[in-house]
Structure formats: C-alpha cells, structure tokens
Amino acid sequence: GAVVSQHPSWVICKSGTSVKIECRSLDFQATTMFWYRQFPKQSLMLMATSNEGSKATYEQGVEKDKFLINHASLTLSTLTVTSAHPEDSSFYICSADEGTGGRETQYFGPGTRLLVL
Amino acid sequence: AQTVTQSQPEMSVQEAETVTLSCTYDTSENNYYLFWYKQPPSRQMILVIRQEAYKQQNATENRFSVNFQKAAKSFSLKISDSQLGDTAMYFCAFMMLTRDDKIIFGKGTRLHILP
C-alpha cells in the first residue's frame, strides 16, 4: 500500500525557535496533503489543506503566519512552526491522497511529536 | 456543517468477544464516504474500513464490519472475535468528495481488549 513518511519523528526545541516537519509520499504522487494536530487523548484536528503549487488553505482559528505550509512538489509538503512556544507542543500528523481516482483514500504519516521547552 | 459523534469514550471487552462501536453523523449531502480508523499506541493512523454512501451493502473486512444506516445517519463498527491487538483508539470519520476532500473525525472511542 501507499506509504507516507514524516521527519523528524520527534523533536525537542527551545521556545522561540522554528521547527520544520517534512511529510513525504514515498510511492505515489500526492496532489493534496493535509496537516493535523492531535493533543493527548483527543481527536485529530485539521489544521490546513496543502495543494501542490498553490497556497495552503487553513482552517478557522489556525494562524497561517505561525504554521507555514509549503507543498513544493507532488511528494513533499512541509510544516514550519515559527517561533514555537510551549503551547505548540503537540503531535502533528500529515496525510496524503492520490488525487484523481484515489481521492477517497488518505494515507497517514506516522506523526511527529513536538515538545517546546 | 458536517459533524461526527461517537458517544462511547471508552469500552472494555474480553478477548474473543464481539464489540460494537457507535457513530452518528450529520450532513445534508447525499454522496460521501465514511471511515473507521484505528490508532494504536504507536499513534499511526490505520484505515480499518470504508463505506461509500451510495452503496447499500455494508462493508466488511475480515473481523470488522459496519452497520450503515443512511437514513438514520448511523455508522457502527462491529469487531468480531476481538483480539488483544485490537486495543486502540477508534475514530469514526466522514468525508465529502469536494475540492478539498477534508476528513472530519469524531472524538474517538478508546477500546480495551482484556485477556
């Protein structure tokens, strides 16, 4: 089946620094990628939808200047948490669909655990 | 706006028993997909089963089956012959095929399979 990877799997950083998380589709081209945030024992909350070659669409309440998303190729999307603070500590998950003919199936990455000190 | 409701925050059953997880949703659309995802302690999201709204036949994947009641907007998951490896968080999810294909997740049901 299709595989989505994320890097890094976990990261610890100091408050005020920026952190970049990569999401890659390994064996398929992903027209659309999604970024989610998950707090402990809670559900996945969609942060933004990322389309290759265009600006991301952010969900209401998500600061686009805080969470920068770049979908530069059909296999790579990045999420940059700028000037991270402790409240940004969370589990970030990306997913990708295969586009036409496979839009109803999204493949999830293994997630990235971010801890901001 | 579409919503997904899982009314059982946590459940426990003995190994080999059958368990049913409930899910209801709200939408005014006619064409959509419903999913059950499993999230084990590793936190990797795993697709368990998928149902197309236009199909009347309930989806089945080995020990997993759904009871899809479109008029009632209900989509329950039945796990037969439960195994210890089924212990996980289970999320019911809804997706409409639109330009952005967003998935909306329920709050989840934590399922414990007891030895």
What is the CB-side half-sphere exposure of residue B13 using CA atoms within 13 A? 22
Identify the burial level of B99 via C-beta atoms within 10 angstroms of its C-beta, where 0-12 means exposed, 13-18 middle and 19 or more buried: exposed
Which residue of A57, A91, A106 is in closest CB contact with B103? A106
State the pLDDT at residue A105.
79
A5 vs B: CB within 8 A: no
- List the structure tokens of A38: 């998950």
Which residue of B33, B42, B91 is in closest CB contact with A43? B91
Higher confidence at residue A27 or residue B77? B77
Q: How far apart are CA B37 and CA A42, in angstroms?
A: 14
Residue type, B26: D
Question: With 80 as the cut, is the pLDDT of residue B80 above it?
Answer: yes
A32-38 and A90-97 beta bridge pairing: antiparallel
- With a CB cutoff of 8 Å and minimum separation 6, the contacts of B1 are none
Q: How far apart are CA B87 and CA B25, in angstroms?
A: 24
Which residues of chain A have a CB within 8 Å of the CB of B1? none
Percent of the residues in chain B that have a pLDDT greater than 90, as a whole number: 85
State the pLDDT at residue B81.
97
Question: With 60 as the cut, is the pLDDT of residue A102 above it?
Answer: no
- With a CB cutoff of 8 Å and minimum separation 6, the contacts of A12 are A115, A116, A117
State the pLDDT at residue B17.
97
* Cross-chain residue pair A44–B101, CB shorter than 8 Å: no
What is the CB-side half-sphere exposure of residue A106 using CA atoms within 13 A? 30
What is the band of B101 on the pLDDT scale with cuts at 50, 70, 90? confident
Residue type, B35: F
Residue to mutate among B23, B43, B45, B111, with most A CBs inside 10 A, is: B45
The structure tokens 């959509």 sit at: B32
Question: With 80 as the cut, is the pLDDT of residue A33 above it?
Answer: yes
Q: Which candidate, A11, A38, A31, places its Cα nearest to that of A22?
A: A11
Residue type, B69: Q
b/e code A50-70 from CB counts within 10 Å (16+ = b): bbbeeebbbeeebeeeebbbe
pLDDT digits (tens, 9 = 90+) for B22-42: 999 999 888 899 999 999 999
What is the CB-side half-sphere exposure of residue B16 using CA atoms within 13 A? 1
State the pLDDT at residue A41.
87
Query: Among residues 54-83 of chain B, which lie with CB inside 8 Å of chain A?
Result: none
* Torsion over CA: B24, B28, B30, B34 (sign): negative
State the pLDDT at residue B30.
86
Q: What is the mean pLDDT of residues A91-96?
A: 96
Q: What's the whole-number average pLDDT of chain B?
A: 94
